Structure 1
Amino acid sequence: MEDPLSSGGWRFAQCFGDKGDIEDITEADIISTVEFDSTGNYLATGDKGGRVVLFERNEQKKGCEYKFYTEFQSHEPEFDYLKSLEIEEKINKIKWCKRQNQAHFLLSTNDKTIKLWKVFEKSLRVVSESNHHSGQHPKPPPQAMNQLQLPGMSVQDNIIAAVPRKVYANAHAYHIHSISVNSDQETYISADDLRINLWNLNISDQSFNIVDIKPVNMEELTEVITATEFHPVHCNLFMYSSSKSNIKLADMRESALCDQHAKCFEEEEDPSTRSFFSEIISSISDVKFSHDGRYILSRDYLSLKIWDVNMESKPLKTIPIHDHLRGKLCDLYENDCIFDKFECLWGGDDKHVLTGSYHNYFRIYDSDSLNDVVLQADKSAFKARKIGGPLPGNKMGMKNGPRSSPFKDQMASEALDFNKKILHASWHPRENTIAIAATNNLFLYSAA
């Protein structure tokens, strides 16, 4: 029986955001991160204007549909007077903490400051009865002490409030690009280009530096940290990727400073394919553990790689994403697109992987057969409820190479819009529903 996810069983479900032309988009409205919570009942987006928007599952609908829940300003633009630098309000990452009570807790970060937000429902009460008013009519003033009464209160409205419970600041000299909450729900890590810090969620004025790759002389700098994530099961393990195309797994039980990694996942480069762009395109932009912690998914500019945690020498699978762009690397270097950081993610079943591309295309792969589905998060989805389609049999190792498809021809055409790109996405933890950030729109797709 064919897997519906690998045969184009995906349908456009919903879209939030302004449906105007890309030329009319305000920079502040561009979505910079998207994240489902651990239940999948809530979805958060952050944008370049420093806002966080939350969506709640609409239980009255049969399918997986969401409705607006609340919005709040998480970060404001700041100015670092010591370094004469403007600090953007752009939200780089949002991570949910597991829900312990009626309130939601989530971490959001810009380049310098991480905040822990508490989002909860609160009833607004107003005075409905007093010594001068019965609630309906004015009352004569009380003449004696025993006629005095306490004001009566009644609920006027229920609102959703967002309060910053903790602000974790002044711990990073460089821009924060990753945060990850530990499975113990007590600690989290934050990473910039050269350092990773470990925080206790309850302590905002101190953090512990667990990785520091900053050389004594900055002229000797050869690599930077690009992404980091805690292991989903073991609270002592985390990994971080680097611009030198390797992933290091660190164990906090071994030593306080985790500069000496426990494992290093790295594939030897083929000298025959080396070029001026090799270092740039081999830099890893994102890494994710599978939900069971057994596998690692990594994304570089041209490909996705699936690694087994027990095998460091080479990936189990390498999935080409941007082979059609190999001849355009000069142009992509000129327009800075070669530095785009595409995210990658596992499906809730750990059997599918997803990553984005240009022209608002994104691809979902079956991690076993490598069959893939190609979808486009585009305005045409407003007109047609069903978009995209399967790529026929893109299997590795076929005698005559992968079979062609109309999408491949379209991707290789000169008409690709490099301003439209799918960098950020999130996969529902328990269902086949995905949220895709396409410039200033949030698209939702579902599969049966």
Structure 2
Amino acid sequence: MFYRSNSDGNGGETTWCFSQVKGTLEDDVTEADLISCVEFNHDGELLATGDKGGRVVIFQRDPASKQCVPKKGEYNVYSTFQSHEPEFDYLKSLEIEEKINKIRWLKRKNQAHFLLSTNDKTIKLWKVSERDKRVTGYNTREEGGRPRDPARVTQLRVPTVRPADLMVEASPRRIFANAHTYHINSISLNSDQETYLSADDLRINLWHLEITDQSFNIVDIKPVNMEELTEVITAAEFHPTECNLFVYSSSKGTIRLCDMRAAALCDRHAKLFEEPEDPHARSFFSEIISSISDVKLSNSGRYMMSRDYLGLKVWDLRMETKPVETYPVHEYLRSKLCSLYENDCIFDKFECCWSGDDQRLMTGSYNGFFRVFERGVAGARRGELTLEASRDAAARPRQPLRARKVAATAKRKKDEISVDCLDFNKKILHTAWHPHESIIAVAATNNLFIFQDKF
């Protein structure tokens, strides 16, 4: 496979530059304002974020930004609504957080938009629609909406439709609850656009979008004796084109491909993707850092990307024995695993995403850094970029981002940052890539940074 280093696919050089930042840049940030998921819809016109306060904010592509030359990736607030509220399970004496774990868009079929959002226990289907007209001239109601005295109706009128100020309404159409004992970590729409899966630590359920009171359990790894538990499910996703296939990853660093045509309960996988461990490199932290935090199938459906604590791996679905590509994200942290274990950072769950053409990969790191990799680029480090989502970038709109470098040792060059100076509170856990253009969205605490290429 061949791909031009840092190019747009047309031979032009690509340089990432700052486009927008959403959210306050003040230091005083509440826990509820922290962004917990980011997701573009299928045409990239809308971009949704969920936060720990249970809110969903939808941004819409600015029409003028698409018409100018070169195109700009600028978005404006389209709708904001409260998706989930905090709850309390009295039977288990358990508090259920309102934090939005995942958002998934349905493909658009009419004028309205639909999306799924979930917290730890409950999944909701939301309809987002526009109203720019109003009906006037009712016979049985006053203009303000109050019922009219029938005795005062002396003539019949034909109601008329008139233009009105644009209103965007978000309304819950379905609520899928009471099907998960453990925390939901994934939801994924099937390519048939009629069913979707939801996964928690030990089970994966299959739902129909029209049926809220029943789901089918398609994976169950819960042992009879919980003391025998050796692994948990960390992520799950449907194949983008084959409606019978899905994958799920585990805390033991394995990925299983399942075929729903083989059996109703997919406890037996069709394929198992696992890289053999080097016995010489084994340490106390080996099992923790090999846990897969995210798995994403490519848009073509041939490849699959997995993110563990220190790196990215790309797998060919036709080869189970080892990944076809490996990209170290922050290998310089290997010497810091002990302190990362003590401050719980080693358990952070980084997500990853594909570009629309499947030729580039993106994932996050610490200190506000995120990594972009180009596939198939010859030569060490030629296709790697470390960029930073920072206030400095926001102060220089449309200016190229400066590539950052981290020095793993005490000796560092002029433009490098020492690994000892990294801020582990500035985590880039959630990223998203526009499905057709080189526009990326990066969640940094309570801020949403949008970057685009500049040709």
Contact kept in structure 2, 1:435 and 1:445, CA below 8 Å: yes
Q: Please give the root-mean-square deviation of Cα atoms over the aligned residues, in Å.
A: 2.5
What's the CA shift for 1:35? 0.2
Question: Does 1:388 pair with 2:406?
Answer: no
1:247 corresponds to? 255
3-state SS of paired residue (2:387) = strand
Contact kept in structure 1, 2:73 and 2:450, CA below 8 Å: no
Equivalent position to 2:123, from 105, 109, 114: 114
For 2:46, the aligned partner's letter is Y
Equivalent position to 1:43, from 39, 44, 47: 47
3-state SS of paired residue (2:289) = helix
Question: Does 1:20 pair with 2:26?
Answer: yes
Question: Does 1:428 pair with 2:417?
Answer: no
For 2:56, the aligned partner's letter is V
3-state SS of paired residue (1:60) = helix
Contact kept in structure 1, 2:333 and 2:419, CA below 8 Å: no
Contact kept in structure 2, 1:373 and 1:389, CA below 8 Å: no
Q: Structure 2 unaligned segments of length 5 or more: list them.
A: 406-411
1:287-302 matches, cutoff 5 A: 287-302=295-310
Please identify, of 82-91 and 125-134, the stretch whose mean Cα deviation from structure 2 is larger.
Answer: 125-134
For 2:35, the aligned partner's letter is I
Task: Find the aligned partners of 2:107 and 2:395 in 1 and give their Cα distance.
Answer: 37
Deviation by residue 1:14-56 (Cα, 9 ceiling, x = unmatched) = 11111112xx101111000000000011100000000000011
For 1:210, the aligned partner's letter is I
What's the CA shift for 1:150? 3.7
Deviation by residue 1:357-379 (Cα, 9 ceiling, x = unmatched) = 00010010011116112210111
Task: Find the aligned partners of 2:136 and 2:38 in 1 and give their Cα distance.
Answer: 41
For 1:36, the aligned partner's letter is F
Task: Find the aligned partners of 2:404 and 2:132 in 1 and give their Cα distance.
Answer: 51
Contact kept in structure 1, 2:24 and 2:446, CA below 8 Å: yes
Deviation by residue 1:213-238 (Cα, 9 ceiling, x = unmatched) = 00000000000000001001101000
Call closer, same or farther: CA 1:200–1:405 in 2, change over 3 Å. Answer: farther
What's the CA shift for 1:122? 2.1
Deviation by residue 1:41-80 (Cα, 9 ceiling, x = unmatched) = 1100000000000011111122221111010000000000
For 2:439, the aligned partner's letter is T
For 2:331, the aligned partner's letter is D
Contact kept in structure 1, 2:371 and 2:387, CA below 8 Å: yes
Call closer, same or farther: CA 1:303–1:133 in 2, change over 3 Å. Answer: closer
Question: Does 1:59 pair with 2:60?
Answer: no
For 2:155, the aligned partner's letter is L
3-state SS of paired residue (1:389) = coil
3-state SS of paired residue (1:19) = coil
What's the CA shift for 1:131? 11
Task: Find the aligned partners of 2:414 and 2:130 in 1 and give their Cα distance.
Answer: 49
Contact kept in structure 2, 1:126 and 1:156, CA below 8 Å: no
What's the CA shift for 1:327? 1.1
3-state SS of paired residue (2:361) = strand
3-state SS of paired residue (2:53) = coil
TM-score by length of 1: 0.90
1:68 corresponds to? 77
Contact kept in structure 1, 2:332 and 2:419, CA below 8 Å: no
1:398 corresponds to? none
1:85-124 matches, cutoff 5 A: 85-123=94-132
For 2:346, the aligned partner's letter is I
2:366 corresponds to? 358
Call closer, same or farther: CA 1:376–1:148 in 2, change over 3 Å. Answer: same
Contact kept in structure 1, 2:15 and 2:401, CA below 8 Å: no
Task: Find the aligned partners of 1:129 and 1:234 in 2 and give their Cα distance.
Answer: 50
Q: How many residues align?
A: 427
3-state SS of paired residue (1:160) = strand
1:42-441 matches, cutoff 5 A: 42-61=46-65, 62=68, 63-123=72-132, 125=134, 127=136, 147-150=154-157, 154-369=162-377, 371-385=383-397, 386-390=399-403, 409-410=416-417, 412-441=418-447
Deviation by residue 1:118-165 (Cα, 9 ceiling, x = unmatched) = 000124637579899999xxxxx99998x5344866454331111100
Task: Find the aligned partners of 2:386 and 2:60 in 1 and give their Cα distance.
Answer: 27
Task: Find the aligned partners of 2:237 and 2:143 in 1 and give their Cα distance.
Answer: 59
Please identify, of 412-421 and 337-346, the stretch whose mean Cα deviation from structure 2 is larger.
Answer: 412-421
Contact kept in structure 2, 1:131 and 1:149, CA below 8 Å: no
Task: Find the aligned partners of 2:138 and 2:195 in 1 and give their Cα distance.
Answer: 47
What's the CA shift for 1:3? 3.4
Task: Find the aligned partners of 1:224 and 1:142 in 2 and give their Cα distance.
Answer: 65
Deviation by residue 1:300-335 (Cα, 9 ceiling, x = unmatched) = 001110111111111111111121111111111111
